[in-house]
Amino acid sequence: MRLKISARKSDLARLQAYMVGDALKEKNPHLEIEYRFKESLGDKNLTDPLWQIPEKGVFTEDFYGELIRGETDMVVHSWKDLPTEHKSDTVIAATLPRADQRDLLLLKKTHFEKIQQTKALRVFSSSPRREYNLTDFFKTHLPFSLESVRFESVRGNIPTRLRKLLENPEVDGLIVAKAALDRLLVARQDEFQEVRHQLRSYLSHLDWAVLPLSINPNAAAQGALAVEIMAKRPDLEALLKDIHDESTFHCAQKERTWLASFGGGCHQKIGVAVLSRPYGEITFLKGLTDQGQVLNTRTLTPNHSVPRFPAEQLWSSEVRAERLPLSPTPLAPHLNALYVARAEAWPEGLKSPGFVWTAGLKTWKNLAQKGIWVHGCAESLGEQEDARLDVLAGRSLHWAKLSHEEGFETSSENLPLVATYRLQPLGTLASVTNKECFFWNSGSQFLHAIQEAPEILKKHHACGPGNTYKVLRAYMEKHNAFDPARLNIFLDQEDWRQQCTK
């Protein structure tokens, strides 16, 4: 069987077409593929910001015509480029597993002192979504005490935009889709060798931070590939079914449905990210609609129903403990990346070993105010969230965790603990035995509480999706008290109260 696959002619678009073709050939070794590459309207107009170009589908509509005329069998798109309006004569028949859907800030290392002195940041990005969602974040989460942030339009492919950044003495940084840069950096085909080396050269002059989805949700379907075919091609549907990733498809479709509900289009100041996790589906929605409605929601839809109680039967813990500093063990020479559980875990005088990742946004902000460059965070979703930094770093990262001395219960060979403080619990658990549902902010606090009031063990418990859940579950399993209906995950205390109150 011989197939024609079409895509734009940029490096990234060609690479993405090859990814689909290689996946198909892996399942069908005798398949013959002809690739067809050409410029789209969006490639020809590199002057106007995309949101100002009146035509919809500026990167995709030309290829729709090829499908209709039978000139090609399938088109590989970056799914975020497709208009949200439904077409009846074509379908998205497959997508590969999603790349990193987050945005990436790239900043010139030589401009750090200038930014610190002027307290002003100038960033290349043509996205209204990024400008709306990131302006205030940059003022508080970068180590510069910024007073102003200015966004400026830029067009071109990834290497072109990086070159424009490095050649412009007035602009400090650039925001790109991380998926695009990651894919180009790992491209194995010989034809991409030059662009790989070029990108590595550019990155040597830049520092970077992976931007959090809760602050800056991605453009709908960013990081996902869409394989478009004619609707009446059951032969191609059967072929593509073998490489289709349903989870990616589901999340990307949900994001596009959200965007379409507000009018769709890249002119929108709206980002939406849908994440599928073992415990449920997380949705981040943030921005400003054309009608002036402010959007800012962070929700978890659990995989199963959760119990509800009268408000007076709920009890939530705060981490009531005195933090006593320890003399930390020096970092092993091979460790080049730190996962920081709380800002208090960073001891005075510690120099960054290279890469810094924090448990949440609060820790990121506190470290930035100490002058520490943070490369991103787990957004309070737990250590199990993959930072996905090795490709950008250009090498394997060897991590250590800065936390309190009882953080050992979730440390491992891949994330050894460096204890920099210990917790001295404060207060007692008086008058909690009449409560029915407990929310824990800390695994160590749960362990202390269960010693003081063991009768609460068989009641209902809740926590976030990270290490606290691991601690609670391990303890309950050890004492034959684990019941999945009595241990539930929520994003935070507010989410827990909303979902568990009758």
- Per residue in 59-102, pLDDT tens? 567 788 889 999 999 999 999 988 877 788 999 999 999 999 99
Residue 160 has a pLDDT of 96
Neighbouring CB atoms inside 10 A of 447's CB total 16
Residue 51: the pLDDT is 44
Mean pLDDT of 4-21: 95
| pLDDT score of 44 | 46
pLDDT at 54: 43
Lowest mean pLDDT segment, chosen from 2-6, 144-148, 401-405: 401-405
Tokens of 31: 């398949």
Exposure on the CB side of residue 182, measured as CA atoms within 13 A: 18
Ranking 256-270, 400-414, 428-442 by mean pLDDT, the lowest is 400-414
Q: In this predicted structure, what is the pLDDT of residue 172?
A: 98
Query: Is 277 a residue whose pLDDT tops 80?
Result: yes
**How far apart, in whole angstroms, are the C-alpha atoms of residue 103 and residue 256?**
17
The predicted model gives 118-139 an average pLDDT of 97
Confidence of residue 448 (pLDDT cuts 50, 70, 90): confident
Hey, CA dihedral for 168, 174, 180, 186, is it positive or negative? positive
Model pLDDT, residue 444: 83
What pLDDT score was predicted for residue 413?
Answer: 65
| Signed CA dihedral, 438, 440, 446, 452: sign only | negative
What's the whole-number mean pLDDT along residues 120-130?
Answer: 96
At 124 the pLDDT is: 98
Q: What is the pTM of this model?
A: 0.92
Average pLDDT (423-451) is 81
| Mean pLDDT computed over 235-255 | 96
Note the pLDDT of residue 348.
87
Which tokens go with 431? 């008058």
Q: What per-residue confidence (pLDDT) applies to 39?
A: 78
pLDDT at 452 (0 to 100) = 85
**pLDDT band, residue 360 (cuts 50/70/90):** very high
Q: Between β-strands 32-38 and 103-108, what pairing exists: parallel, antiparallel or unpaired? A: unpaired
Q: What is residue 166's predicted lDDT score, i.e. its pLDDT?
A: 98
The rounded mean pLDDT for the chain is 91
Q: Give the model confidence (pLDDT) of 298-336 as tens digits.
A: 999 999 999 999 999 999 876 555 677 888 778 888 899
Average pLDDT over residues 239-246: 97
Supply 382's token pair.
């737990």
The sheet carrying 294-302 orders its strands as 269-277, 280-288, 294-302
**Secondary structure of residue 150 in the 3-state scheme:** strand
Strands 2-8 and 74-78: parallel
212/175 Cα distance (integer angstroms): 13
Tokens representing residue 469 in the block: 């859940």
Beta strands in 148-293 (DSSP E): 148-152, 173-177, 206-210, 225-230, 269-277, 280-288
